[in-house]
Structure 1
């Protein structure tokens, strides 16, 4: 079974310190990430450039995708505050290795733009261009639902399991009912990245397994994408893999293959060779 990680970061400088629990190192190169992937048994990965601490990271990600086309692709971004960037959308995927768009919108000023409708110009243009968009929708589920309902042909991705990013254990799942209700909208998928972060227990993180089961049950294996965000995980890369491949008895066979990479690639249009 080939495995594709739905989110990794690489960077070559830290203009500001890496956010949250990300490794406090000055760089993570494509070659260093490939070494970690090889040791963990991961075949390919979708790079999310950490522009907040390295403004040049998107260029670096595209260089990595060009140099290692069978190993990397990119989920990129541009300044969403500037409507002039509308001109970038129709040809966005003409950049070799570029698959779609992703804005975390983690911070209050960014979320204010979302709440006030300042980003509303993006959604119809991305829908028209066939671009998938990922966001940390778990922290603004109402607004995320509104976008998904208004633009039913826009493929949207809830980042990091769609959970309460600031919570762990039970607190991480406080909005689970609302999050799983979004599964009724067929244009919404879940990137199940960062799962180990949500547990304070050691591997195999038994106290979050039922919650993850509910997510996969709701969305189905065609709309759930395994991944790591490895540079901030509390466990090894290999444990991130085996947590899904060996510790979740309800995830097996073809469903497991889909969650571990096939469904992600289909959703974003990455023509990755699985066979």
Structure 2
């Protein structure tokens, strides 16, 4: 089974459901809904996808959960919630919502401040651990900041989105040399925490080469060696590819794991492409 463990899907903004100010712009001009994603999945043999409501629509899981309820064998959700202490109580029943697998953390600092400051925001990490809510965390180039969280909360499943690589697209397009793996040692160091996992997502975004992105082989093999193949899952992050000067096809994003990465065995490819996400996130439908 193949599971795309992270796609942003959204409906257009409307007067009834306006988006909050001060967020990043949508990753593409057109809305990206479930029907379009289903067509892509069916064309490429992808069985399931995990919807991550995008940051620009705010902390709103309405559409994502509706899609998951309609097609529970195809879609599930890593939802969003306001990062404020008055909402901590919601975590106790967060996973009771049909289709909800956990939380995705990515917040504008202008709205929520430094939400990776463990001591200041311990109320959140304590509550998430108490209910064992899996977290997908956007912490690009900040993997070292996850270490105190992981040390203090050994029962909290943490998934590092995009391998916690540095966001280098704008710098590279401006002609500046930028290494997305400049702090990969901080990512590798987190392998000592058994509840920390890695998502191989948005990978073409970090390559300076065309498909099959062989310049990423060395760093990705180091991650596999450190964490073990059973702690890694794959996701396309398809809408983000629209930001690239030469966006890859879905076939290339999927083929990077399915057919590339020569250091992986067929069994390891299957684990990364689906088995691990189902197990780690408890998607049992």
Calculate the TM-score normalised by the size of structure 1.
Answer: 0.90
| Cα contact 1:105–1:135 (8 A) shared by 2 | no
Tell me which of 34, 51, 62 is aligned to 1:47: 51
* Partner in structure 2 of residue 92 of structure 1: 94
Give the distance between the partners of 2:278 and 2:251, measured in 1 at CA.
21
| Cα contact 2:103–2:136 (8 A) shared by 1 | yes
* Partner in structure 1 of residue 16 of structure 2: none
Structure 2 matches for 1:77-226, cutoff 5 A?
A: 77-81=80-84, 83-105=85-107, 107=109, 110=112, 112-115=114-117, 117-166=119-168, 171-226=179-234
Deviations 1:210-253 (A, max 9, x none): 11111111111111111110012220111111111111122122
**Partner SS, residue 77 of structure 2:** strand
Q: CA, structure 1 residues 120+262, in 2 after alignment: closer, same or farther (shift >3 Å)?
A: same
Structure 1 residues without counterparts, runs of 5 or longer:
none
Give the distance between the partners of 2:160 and 2:130, measured in 1 at CA.
20
Q: CA, structure 1 residues 17+243, in 2 after alignment: closer, same or farther (shift >3 Å)?
A: farther
| Cα contact 1:193–1:227 (8 A) shared by 2 | yes
- Would you say how many aligned residue pairs link Structure 1 and Structure 2? 268
Compute the RMSD of aligned alpha carbons. Answer: 2.1
Calculate the TM-score normalised by the size of structure 2.
Answer: 0.87
Give the distance between the partners of 2:192 and 2:51, measured in 1 at CA.
28
Give the distance between the partners of 1:217 and 1:32, measured in 2 at CA.
36
**Partner SS, residue 171 of structure 1:** coil
Shifted more, 55-64 versus 33-42: the winner is 55-64
**Partner SS, residue 172 of structure 1:** coil
